[in-house]
Structure 1
Amino acid sequence: MNGAAPASHGQSRALLVLLGILWGLNWPAVKVSLTGVSPWALRSIGLGAAACTVFALGLLRGHPLAIRSGRERLHIVVAGLLNVALFNILLTFAQLGAATSRVAIITYSMPLWATLFARFALGERLDAMRSSGLLLGAGGLLTLLWPLAGGGLPHGVLLALGAALSWAAGTVYTKWARLSSAPLAMAGWQLLTGALVALTGLFSFESAPYFPAWHAMRGEVMLALGYHILFGMALAHIIWFSIVARMPAGVAALGTLLVPVVGVTGAVLLLGDRPTSSDLAGFALIFCAALCVLLPRGSAAQPRTR
């Protein structure tokens, strides 16, 4: 059994690298998709595909998908509104108003806000490492935003910041609610909540036809949209839940730090983004801050072995 455990952890770490690549490249894929697909249609398709994938995975594995408690249903809907609906919709519109690399950098201040919210909402203590992370994160955001403040912050930057705050609030809310439903069920219903919100926005703010005609779309848009649906949403969620089932949550969360690195690199290479020196300095500080906040404490820092 001892020989099998390292192999299993090696597979999990390989999956984390693959997940970082899939989610990281999803940033430029969304940007390209938005040149031919409306934000509401993009999120309706993407979140709907992700919800269907998670539910299908749950059925194949025989996991319970029903939420039997009325209290839990309410909490899952609220968490879905914050963690999925607001987060994804704000990010989509943010990419229309700011460079993808800058949006990705600001968005990955999420763990810092979650740590700060948990301090006040849940009474969680801040140790020296997390306090250092908050200071580094504040310095990173200040470094990135200060040069932009003179002419007024671009709305894309504000939307990215709003997305980070929304995700953090949803994470802390979920912790506060102490939900006991199966993780796969909670994820599926939250994704479905996000998809329904996106569909409501689509029908409310856009005129028919709501979805683009495939034959009228440019080749690169079709390729980017296909990547977003099949790899950035569906396959990525399958991999994520496989990782969570195999590894401690802290280690899994730490692995997602590869996402902004791939996202920023992809935006530079594929979209021609040119981050400024303040962007890169801010990114370095925020990345180190997230590392401080997400680094597992004590024995959780090492993967469990049998």
Structure 2
Amino acid sequence: MTGATPGRALLLVPLLGLLWGFNWPAVRISLTEIAPWTLRAAGMSFAGLVLVAVALARGVSLSVPRAHWGRLVVAGLLSIAAFNVLLAFAQLMAPTSRAAILTFTMPVWATLLARLVLGESFDRRRLAGLGFGLAGLACLGLPLIRAGALSPGLVLALIASVSWALGTIVTKRWPVAAPALTIAAWQLLIGGGAAAIGMLAFEGLPVPKALSPRVAAALAFHILGAQALAYFLWFVVIARLPAGIASLGTLMVPAVGVLGSVLLLGERPTPSDWLGLALVMAASGTIMLPARRKPAPVDGA
């Protein structure tokens, strides 16, 4: 896999969307028999160890400058630990399909925070993305508010998306001088350690027990497929493809997550949910995908 050509790497983009998208129902199924702190501690820790192994196999240094450990920990707690833990509780309190849609307003919050914290200007694409994102939130939220059915889980999903965006801003404002693979590995291990502390504080040491076949399969997919394999494939993709093309896999995630919730969890999104999904995906695509560059003028033209 390490020698994947750009053509083969392109085939991995939809695979990533499927792995991360179906992770949403997989996590919800796992939570029926596994406590949330325990699930997140296991998933993030294992994924981090896999990336450590990948880094060692590739000869990538795992060292981080001592002065940069603080910013690495803060970004990891925000964009990995808090993000994953909050979403576990969000899925216990709200339909997985709606939580997935709301969570992927992440680029919208990152754009707003970049303006407030980093002073980045709004161009037309970002303004359009913000408009799509706000319209998507309105489609999802207003019907629920009117019906008095706004779940605390959906609030947690929104907080999780803002937490991820804050972690992104921290990374932009105070970058870590280390390879991307190294940063991801350490941040996953930091997230796993934080979740393990929460597990010990609120759930205690997990007692080994037999899981039902459905939950065992979902847990295996979550840890091995959506965490370890997907993160490994992500670094294969971004090493061989432009960022805009690599981001297409991310844009697939909420759609696949909603469809997976319909197929595996029996959820039935409302028409306003589907419209909100379309608008949120439009917002993410508008913000994340780079604008086309104008061709350079030809001399003498």
TM-score (norm 2): 0.93
RMSD: 1.4
Q: Mean alpha-carbon deviation: is it higher for 252-261 or for 41-50?
A: 252-261
Distance (whole Å) between structure 2 residues aligned to residue 124 and residue 101 of structure 1: 32
- Matching residue within 153, 167, 171 for 2:150: 153
Relative distance call for 1:193 and 1:132 in structure 2 (3 A) is: same
Relative distance call for 1:219 and 1:255 in structure 2 (3 A) is: closer
- Matching residue within 40, 46, 52 for 1:49: 46
- Matching residue within 243, 248, 258 for 2:242: 248
Q: Which residue of 1 aligns with 2:214?
A: 220
State yes or no: 1:38 paired with 2:32.
no
> Is the CA contact (8 Å cut-off) linking 1:80 and 1:194 kept in structure 2?
yes
Offset from partner CA, 1:205-248 (integer Å, 9 cap, x none): 0134x1441xx211101111111111011100100111111123
Q: Mean alpha-carbon deviation: is it higher for 89-98 or for 245-254?
A: 245-254
Give percent identity, aligned residues only: 49
State yes or no: 1:21 paired with 2:18.
yes
Q: Which residue of 1 aligns with 2:274?
A: 280
Q: How many angstroms does 1:173 deviate by?
A: 1.0
Q: Which amino acid aligns with 2:105?
A: S
Distance (whole Å) between structure 1 residues aligned to residue 213 and residue 192 of structure 2: 25
Q: Which residue of 2 aligns with 1:3?
A: none
> Is the CA contact (8 Å cut-off) linking 2:94 and 2:151 kept in structure 1?
yes
Q: How many angstroms does 1:152 deviate by?
A: 5.6
Relative distance call for 1:211 and 1:125 in structure 2 (3 A) is: farther
Q: How many angstroms does 1:299 deviate by?
A: 4.0
SS of aligned partner of 1:243: helix
SS of aligned partner of 2:5: helix
State yes or no: 1:81 paired with 2:77.
yes
Distance (whole Å) between structure 2 residues aligned to residue 125 and residue 254 of structure 1: 24
Counterparts of 1:1-306 in structure 2 under 5 Å?
Answer: 8-67=5-64, 69-150=65-146, 151=148, 153-208=150-205, 210-213=206-209, 216-299=210-293
Distance (whole Å) between structure 2 residues aligned to residue 23 and residue 204 of structure 1: 29
Q: How many angstroms does 1:148 deviate by?
A: 1.2
SS of aligned partner of 1:63: coil
Offset from partner CA, 1:244-282 (integer Å, 9 cap, x none): 111233332233101111111111011101001111111
Task: Count the aligned residue pairs.
Answer: 290
Distance (whole Å) between structure 2 residues aligned to residue 96 and residue 60 of structure 1: 38
Distance (whole Å) between structure 1 residues aligned to residue 293 and residue 56 of structure 2: 34
SS of aligned partner of 1:225: helix
The gaps in structure 1 that reach 5 residues or longer are 1-6, 301-306
> Is the CA contact (8 Å cut-off) linking 1:118 and 1:172 kept in structure 2?
yes
Q: Which amino acid aligns with 2:102?
A: I
The gaps in structure 2 that reach 5 residues or longer are 295-301
Q: Which amino acid aligns with 2:175?
A: R
